[in-house]
Chain A
Amino acid sequence: MQSIILKTATRLMVGLMLIFAVYVLLRGHHEPGGGFAAALLAGTAFALFAITEGPDQVRRAIRIRPLTMAMTGLALGLAAGLPGPAAGKPFLTGIWWQAGPISVGTPLVFDLGVFLAVLGSILSMLLCLEEN
């Protein structure tokens, strides 16, 4: 789309939106947010980018194929379930480690998997439609 206002605004917006998406992803455990919302946010950012700069630029920016990203997300989700059985608990049981003041656990990995799976799915369809 040939709009200089949109183009200029997009350059600023996309970066901010992506950073915000990461923020939403990480705060999700305590405040509204989480992997799904973050993926939608990042998807919207890339959609904006694709509308102004074209889908090829988006593909170049994300480097990996969107479906690969989605599959990686699924694999991460599965992998996050494995420490549970390893510790003798049911599949996908959350396992937590205390690292100083913050606790890190498998649900974080799982959330990251959700993020990648949803974002990859959105991007694969979006870019395909854009190229059509």
Chain B
Amino acid sequence: MAADTDPSDVRALEAGLDALDSLVTPVASNRTRAAWSAFWPTAAAVVVFGGVWQAVALAGLRPSYALPSPADVWTAFVVAAQDGSGVRAVGLSLERGGLGFAISVVVGVLLGTTLATAPLLRRALGPIVSGLQSLPSVAWVPAALIWFQLSNAAIFTVVLLGAIPSIVNGLLAGVDQVSPLFLRVGQVLGASGWTRIRYVLLPGALPGFLAGLKQGWAFAWRSLMAAELISSSPRLGTGLGQLLDLGRQTNDMSLVIAAILLIFAVGMAIELAVFSPLERKVLRARGLTGPGGR
């Protein structure tokens, strides 16, 4: 080898180039401050809204059974928490929502993978699955009640029919977004059939799939509330939807509003605690920043 291409020189040159060209990761900014700057505008909006509500309630424009004050709702909330009915309702609904969602994920992944890899089947069923997304799942409640009477099976049927289309569509969208370049590389590397699905298609589709899961959870939760609200029966126990119906039957507007706030809080807590961090983690590992920045 001539001296001008001494390999150690090339190695040194490369080391210099690598150091110069590599992405410089910005130093993470103060996390507490970032969290605070995201949090305070929402908190302020809630405080302002509560203040206006309290003022309107105090002004007595409406009788208090129609428009209870925030303080009345808080009392109803505390009572429900203390006698355990609120905690049991949240527990039961979460249990149903979690189980229904888990079954939906299994069915959705199997169905989505099948459709993604069988073009004819996809052309046949794809538009129907897409269309099902825009069908309000509450429409399934009467059918489910006729099939399964007042039972948990009826509730799970509605949850599954609400969540599965979103999960399938998310997976299909994710698969469609996998770059043809990656598929070609997979083929060159010798991936085919199952190895192609396992090592190229599914990991490539993960970001779209996660978006589908997130939407699937939202739909599962909504469907569950619709099902619980309509199939209110002592035999089925008291979930959040049934608590809401109890409030309506006893004309207790404070309980109704407390139940609405609980349903909202639980749905959002799951999204914030489970899906947002998961999505952020996956996108960040791929060098993509998710919605809402870093």
Question: Do they bind each other?
Answer: no
B residues neighboring A (CB under 8 Å) = none
